Amino acid sequence: MTRLAVRGALLLLTFCAGALAVDTTLLPSEALQKRYEALTHELRCMQCQNQSIADSPVDLAAGLRRDVQEQLIAGRTDGEIRESMVRRYGNAILFRPPLDAGTAWVWIAPVIALLGGFVVAIVIVHRRSALVDGDESLPDDPSQEEPRQ
């Protein structure tokens, strides 16, 4: 009986998976639908910060999705919609903010961190090789090493 119950639960979950989706918005045309999906995936949820408004289940994201939908139906372009969101929330709403004085650190910080990591790695390798070179307990000729037992 328990096997039947488990199979039934799995079957139910399979058919209900669509009900768990965050955004089920359907627009009148396929072109509008594609634009809607693209825009909602490139706008950041201001409450979650690490999710797009398309993936966020919070009420703020639902309101932003509704706003994007209304603007698309009103005939606004993608650029106009992005600009209206930036006016309201700042560049933080964009996953890819433009390169300007206020957001330069977003683009430059990863490069600096990567270069810093390379410098630290080189320093560590150099210091360790100097320690090995200066260690007098190691034989100069590897063939003179005592066999390990």
**Other CB atoms within 10 Å distance of the CB of residue 31:** 10
Q: Residue 3 has what pLDDT?
A: 67
Helix (H, G, I), strand (E, B) or coil at 30: helix
In a shared domain, residues 93 and 106? no
Strands (E), the chain: none
pLDDT in tens, 74-106: 999 999 999 999 999 998 899 888 888 877 887
Q: Residue 143 has what pLDDT?
A: 63
Q: Is residue 21's pLDDT more than 60?
A: no
In a shared domain, residues 61 and 110? no
Provide the terminal-to-terminal Cα distance of the chain, rounded to the nearest Å.
Answer: 60
Q: Is residue 147 part of a domain?
A: no
Strand partners, 94: 43
pLDDT in tens, 37-65: 999 999 999 898 789 999 999 999 999 99
Q: Which domain holds residue 126?
A: 99-131
In a shared domain, residues 83 and 108? no
In a shared domain, residues 106 and 44? no
In a shared domain, residues 114 and 52? no
Under a CB-based contact definition with an 8 Å cutoff, are residues 41 and 54 in contact? yes
In a shared domain, residues 116 and 58? no
Q: Residue 101 has what pLDDT?
A: 82
With pLDDT > 70 as the criterion, what percentage of the chain qualifies?
A: 76
Report residue 139: phi and psi, to 5°. Answer: -70, 145
